[in-house]
Structure 1
Amino acid sequence: MYAKLKKNPNNEELEIKHSEMKKQLRKTILRAKQEYFEKCVEDNQNETEALWRYVQNSSKKETQITSIRTKENRVVEDEQEISDIFNDYFSGIGERYANEITEPAEFREEKIHSQESFFLFPTDSEEIEKVISSLKSRKSTGHDGIRSEVLKQVKHEISEPIAYLVNNCFEKACFPDILKIGTIKPLHKGEDKTQVNNNRPVTLISNVAKIFEKFEWLLL
């Protein structure tokens, strides 16, 4: 069909058929991927390590910036140098904005101390599954590369160990260091993509960390 359309680009009937076939092909591929994923989850549901390994391997890699242009109009293509340039630029944004803030004429800080205490009830797998289901379906991921859609697919298999971890964190008043890591990504604002100042920093955290945070927010 593609070959026919290429030979007859102005044929509307061929164009419509080609468009319909493309849609059908996408649906077929998506369905095949879904069935393959479900089979892998079923085969590994009793093997936690193998299941997590498959979850990580199923995550897509995001498109990387291949080149940028410096103030001296020099084109940089080395990945490490590009990262260093963005890091230097983004790390100074806060200070630049802070210098533009006008301090109020009078400011008085008031501290409020509560004499009341509260108790956090432990969670269970059912609550964790609800939290996972509430995650927004986005392609963005943190440093671990695990998408929210993947977590939703395996929520029945991972809810119990995550519930154990969440309860442990609240009991010991700690948060896993691995979940504190944020990945800073440059988000293009407009105009020339190769200019560093045409990008703004966005911090992406792990979707697993969002489960902990969402549950904490619900309790508080």
Structure 2
Amino acid sequence: FSFIEQSDNKSKAVWNVINNERKEKSSKNPLECLKIEEEMIDSPITIANHLNDFFATVADRTLLRNGTLTPVIAPNNNNQTLQTPNLAFSETNKQEIGKIIDSLKAKTSAGEDEISSKLIKQCKHEIITPLTHIINKSLSQGIFPNELKLAKIYPKFKC
């Protein structure tokens, strides 16, 4: 655990430990076929696509199965019914958002929004008030931008 505690990137360190443990115990045989709906599939592309679909939808299926999704009418959206989990959040404040911004590594790489953490840190004082307001509105209304719901899932072939 000292390896993780001393690491600058704790998340990466945790995954290094996990992967090192897995390598010793994992099978050396690649996945050659998979039973999908009573049919044996041996096409690597079909297997990868099925696994991708499974992992891309597992959270929604689990929430639906557990009954933790409830219908909500989205404002200004033609009364479209959305499925949202029952969650309760408390408001945040500028100090908390400031600490989170300060904890970001100043990287020039950007995500879907094309805004780097370096830029966010540089203009922290200008954006902290509106950002805190937007976050609190989102939490209180239970409406989150679709961009925050995206995940990139890459199938990785291993031999």
Taking structure 2 as the reference length, the TM-score comes to 0.40
- Please say which structure displays the higher CA radius of gyration: 1
